Amino acid sequence: MEDPSGCDACGATALEQDPDVLDTWFSSQLWPFSTLGWPEQTDDLRFFFPTSALVTGYDILYLWVARMIMSALFLVDDVPFHPVVIHGLVRDPQGRKMSKSLGNVIDPLDAIAKSGADALRFGLAYQATDAQNIPFGEEHIEAGRRFANKIWNAARLVLSARDGRTGAPDLPEAGQWSVVDRWLLSRHQACLEEVDRSLDGYRFSEAVRALHHFFWSEFCDWGLEAMKVRLYEGSPEQRGDAAEVLSWVLERTLRLLHPVMPFVTEEVWQRFGAGDSIMVAPWPGGDPQHRDTKAEAEFGSAMAVVGAVRRFRKAHGLKDSISLPIHIQPLDPTGAEVLRSLRPEIERLGGISALEVVEERTEGEGFARLSASEAGEVLIPMGGLFDLDVERARLAKRVADLERSVSQSEGKLSNDGFVAKAPEDVGEKERRKLASLKAELVEAAAQLEDLG
């Protein structure tokens, strides 16, 4: 606190302080206020100090964070921030520190040149769980690149459906909304609420994962695909309404995605002609009235039917190009009416040539009987699809092989000698293997049961 009168080591009294050098962490502790013009009482200092939140890695809490708090209390008489958001460090996929000697370094500039900044940002944000180190590899950047492509391609389809209309999209009157419209608006509202909660709690990866799930699965794979019935086969009014609902949801979702993927969202948003820049567009406000549990249940029954048919195809090696006729035995008359009203959407989504709702219970001889949870049962005629006896024999052998493998794995884990002598990672690997085998066994047994 006072200039020294002499050097303790040599006794020299001619001492001069270097005018332009500070210890790294000493200078860093001044960051919350020295960058704003302190010790002068500048406008920046008055506006930005104290700041809203500090985001930092866990490794410099004492080197930096604690020092900033103490120096600010001493020199400016205030705490510089209150929320401190602690994140992990970027590691390689094996959790090792990135280093040139290990050859496991990902150069951000190389990643941007190859896949784009949006892909890199998305990959990092998706992995950045609370205060945990981030295992990061090329596959995460590739996932971000694929997601950016998904956004671009979905936007091209939606924008083309507007038939040249520009400006911010407007929803049709609520009385004109279809079940699919109501379902999509409800899921969008649920996504918005989850993103807001996650960002308010600084849980960035949860916000990113919620957006990824909504856009890829609910918006593209279900909502957009189901609305193609009206986009391609409906009247001009139906086409216009479907296009505006899709555009309204897309435009708002772009604003939610913008902090994570600023470039592709700006490029797409500009094509709406909705304003100067997405950067200054307001954050979407929620509308709780869009939450519609009835619509979610109704369209959920259609999703259950389509899911059952898709699983049947995969289980028995049937190509998507093979169009299947199906019968549905609903749980109740109300469910029957819902399924009939959604017949065109179910047929398109499931690759179904003809859907028939059968309210009277039948034994279904010659049919594969599939459970479609809340929708009821799906019956698929097996004539001509494959040799039923051969397929049953294949699945029976698969079940027997899996039962034998499960028994062997359980024997290992129940053997005290194996458990005591095997390294911990070997034992854990065997437990994961057993869990996987049991899941496969349940699935194979269910597939065999479907065939009667």
pTM for this prediction? 0.82
Query: Does residue 420 share a domain with residue 362?
Result: no
* Domain edge (last residue) among 381, 411, 432: 381
Identify the residue with better confidence: 225 or 104: 225
Kindly report, residue by residue over 321-378, the tens digit of the pLDDT: 888 888 888 888 888 999 999 999 999 999 998 888 887 776 666 777 888 877 888 8
22 confidence band (pLDDT: 50, 70, 90): confident
Say if 6 falls within a structural domain. no
User: Domain for residue 16, yes or no?
Assistant: no
The CATH number given to whatever domain includes residue 226 is: 1.10.730.10
252 and 360 part of one domain: no
pLDDT band of residue 193 (cuts 50, 70, 90) is very high
Q: Is residue 393 part of a domain?
A: yes
Is 399 within 8 Å of 448 (Cβ atoms)? yes
Asked whether residue 353 is domain-assigned, the answer is yes
Instruction: Identify the burial level of 413 via C-beta atoms within 10 angstroms of its C-beta, where 0-12 means exposed, 13-18 middle and 19 or more buried.
Output: middle
Q: What's at 249, amino acid-wise?
A: V
CA dist., res. 234 & res. 255, Å (int): 29
Average pLDDT, the chain: 90
CATH number at residue 340: 3.30.2320
In angstroms, the Cα distances linking 40 to 35, 50, 74, 364 are 11, 15, 16, 85
Do 319 and 342 fall into the same domain?
A: yes
Q: What percent of the chain clears pLDDT 90, i.e. is strictly above it? A: 58
86, β-bridge pairs: 56
Q: Are residues 221 and 287 in the same domain?
A: yes
Q: Tell me if 153 is assigned to some domain.
A: yes
Give SS3 for 211.
helix
pLDDT at site 21: 77
Q: Which of 381, 412, 437 is the last residue of a domain?
A: 381
337 and 207 share one domain = no
Phi then psi for residue 80, to 5 deg, are -75, -20
pLDDT value, residue 372: 85
**Angle, alpha carbons 378-381-385 (nearest 5°):** 120
State how far the Cα of 169 lies from the Cα of 246, in Å rounded to an integer. Answer: 9
Domain count for the chain, please give it.
4
Q: Same domain, yes or no, for 155 and 189?
A: yes
What is the rounded end-to-end Cα distance, in angstroms, of the chain? 88
43, 56, 123: which is closest to 88 by C-alpha? 56
- State the CATH number of the domain containing residue 433: 1.10.287.380
> Is residue 299 in some structural domain?
no
213 plus 120 within the same structural domain: yes
Q: What is the pLDDT of residues 159-181, one digit of tens each?
A: 999 988 889 999 999 999 999 99
Instruction: Tell me the pLDDT band of 98, cut-offs 50, 70 and 90.
Output: confident
Q: Could you tell me if 147 and 278 lie in one domain?
A: yes
Same domain, 333 and 211: no
Which residue, chain included where needed, has tokens 């819902």?
Answer: 338
Catalogue the long-range contacts made by 433-441 (C-beta closer than 8 Å, 24 or more residues apart): 433/409, 434/406, 434/409, 434/410, 437/402, 437/405, 437/406, 437/409, 438/406, 440/402, 441/399, 441/402, 441/403, 441/406
Asked if residue 369 and residue 350 are part of one domain, the reply reads yes
Distance of CA 133 to the CA centre of its chain: 19
Instruction: Tell me whether residue 395 is in a domain.
Output: yes
Secondary structure, 3-state, 108-162: HHHHHHHHCHHHHHHHHHHHCCCCCCEECCHHHHHHHHHHHHHHHHHHHHHHHHC
Work out the number of other CB atoms within 10 angstroms of the CB of residue 81.
18
DSSP for residue 15 = -
- Of 338, 361, 381, the last residue of a domain is 381
Burial of 208 from C-beta contacts in 10 A (0-12 / 13-18 / 19+): buried
Q: Are residues 339 and 405 in the same domain?
A: no
Please report which confidence band the pLDDT of residue 184 belongs to, taking 50, 70 and 90 as the band edges.
very high
Q: Domain residues for 438?
A: 388-450
439 pLDDT tier (thresholds 50, 70, 90): confident
Q: Within 13 Å of residue 45, how many CA atoms lie on the same side as its CB?
A: 16
Q: Are residues 287 and 141 in the same domain?
A: yes
In a domain, 334, yes or no: yes
pLDDT over threshold 80, residue 386: no
